[in-house]
Structure 1
Amino acid sequence: MIYEKVKELCEKKNVSIYRVEKDLGFSASSIVKWKNAVPAADKLKAVADYFNVPIEYFLEK
């Protein structure tokens, strides 16, 4: 669910997930792993800040 929301934001902003990972200094494929795992709060906050959305955006259904 969180991964899908990140993917959706990437599509809206015309940026790749790889670009987000690179810009934020994340390891390669770290966001893709969110398909099956819960991200650390600091990583999720960084992505929220990157897209200028509240962290709660990723927690809503």
Structure 2
Amino acid sequence: MDLYEKIKELAASRKISIRQLEEKLNIANGTIRRWSKSNPSTGVISKVADYFHVSVDYLLGREELTSIKEPVDLADLVDDSKVDWDEWVSFDGKPLTDEVKTALKLILGKRLED
């Protein structure tokens, strides 16, 4: 998969078009589409990598994508339907007790409402 195809796939996963991506990153319209036939500057490709939370090496095909590092929305942490605390949250590599999970959810929920 070439650079343009990878970016197109990442954009689709975020439900945005290539044009919308270019607008968000202040890149001229049609620039990313041309990357299937030309090489971009390192500065512009870094902007794209940062936007998608992937490495430049991934975009260039030098490494595999292990995971996309998405920011964590604290509101999601208090919603059990969005986060599996047993799988995603630990302290010092150890699972949290039910009491600690409940206390953290209450604290986060109260702080988010303020």
Query: Do the two structures share a fold, i.e. TM-score over 0.5?
Result: yes
Kept in 1: contact 2:3–2:61 (CA 8 A): no
Alignment partner, residue 45 of structure 1 = 46
Alignment partner, residue 34 of structure 1 = 35
1:5-44 alignment runs, 5 A limit:
5-44=6-45
1:4 equivalent in alignment to 2:5: yes
Give the 3-state SS of the residue equivalent to 1:35 in structure 2: coil
Kept in 1: contact 2:10–2:52 (CA 8 A): yes
RMSD: 1.0
Q: Which sections of structure 2, spanning at least 5 residues, go unmatched?
A: 63-114
TM-score by length of 2: 0.51
Show structure 1 runs of 4+ deviating over 4 A.
none
Q: CA deviation at 1:12?
A: 0.9
Percent identity between matched residues is: 34
CA distance in structure 2 between the partners assigned to 1:42 and 1:22 by the alignment: 16
Give the 3-state SS of the residue equivalent to 1:28 in structure 2: coil
Q: Which sections of structure 1, spanning at least 5 residues, go unmatched?
A: none
Greater Cα radius of gyration, structure 1 or 2:
2
TM-score by length of 1: 0.93
Aligned residues: 61
CA distance in structure 1 between the partners assigned to 2:41 and 2:28 by the alignment: 13
